Amino acid sequence: MGVLGKKRKSLVFDMHPLLLVQDDVRFDLSSVFYCKLCITLKGIKVDDLETNHFVLVHGGGFGAWCWYKTIALLEEAGYKVSAIDLTGSGVHSFDTNNIKSLSQYVKPLTDFVEKLPEGEKVILVGHDFGGACISYAMELFPHKVSKAVFIAAAMLTSGQSTLDIISQKEGSDDLMQQAQIFLYANGNDHPPTAFDLDKSLLRDLLFNQSPAKDVALASVSMRPTPFAPVLEKLSLSDLKYGIVRRFYIETLEDNAITITLQEAMINASPPEKVFRLKGADHSPFFSKPQALHKLLVEISKIL
């Protein structure tokens, strides 16, 4: 029976477009309702999409390795997937403490996008600090980006830095603040060059819903995050960054970028559509890989 074919006690539209809530069950009506020029074609073939190429950009401390489940699922579904190691991340050998700017940090991503064949577009996916990184690339190459997906990510407005966002949630009981270990490669009388995370707090902060084997992988794979790029304020224009279609995926059990902070970023710069991952921690590629995969596929098919 169809969604509306049975009498219900409650029928409430969620605050985000194209989501219907009935008795605490969410139904995606994107194939039924036409809203803000946003329509999803459920039967469309991957090869018929504007682009079937996802470019995955990790967050601070992570690397391309964190996407291993997402890569496998998307490739099995017929998509092309590229996961980028940003400078000093993953297997990239550069010393994190020597990264002086956001442009230096995101250079592997901007080089990749710049070298795309003429006319080829990609879907950029950014997690955590990767949101600021894909925003930087969107400003440089708006016509090479079909869509941008922010997953529990820093989605900034022009003139904001990632530190500005993080500072909104800091308090004496803030888990992120407790977990940060600042590194001073230039001496304690100079600003920090990077920050690491206390491994004893990793599970509670980033992986509170994730399998133990993925927490173990992260604990031996994560590297420090360069500090200078986190301080840098982005310059984003309506004529470049503003023309790229943006989508946000909220993670409802997130202890690093809380749902309150995610909603604040969404309200400050509303994307085209917002999705919610119930039961997802800050690392949904570990905690909710199948659900995340389905949302990425759905976003790829939105016309």
Report the DSSP pairing between strands 225-226 and 194-197.
antiparallel
Q: Is 128 marked active-site?
A: yes
CB of 104 within 8 A of CB of 238?
A: no
Q: Is 282 marked active-site?
A: yes
One-letter amino acid at 4 equals L
Catalytic residue of the set 58, 127, 282, 293: 282
Q: Is 254 marked active-site?
A: yes
Catalytic residue of the set 85, 127, 128, 281: 128
Catalytic residue of the set 85, 214, 254, 281: 254
Catalytic site residues? Answer: 128, 254, 282
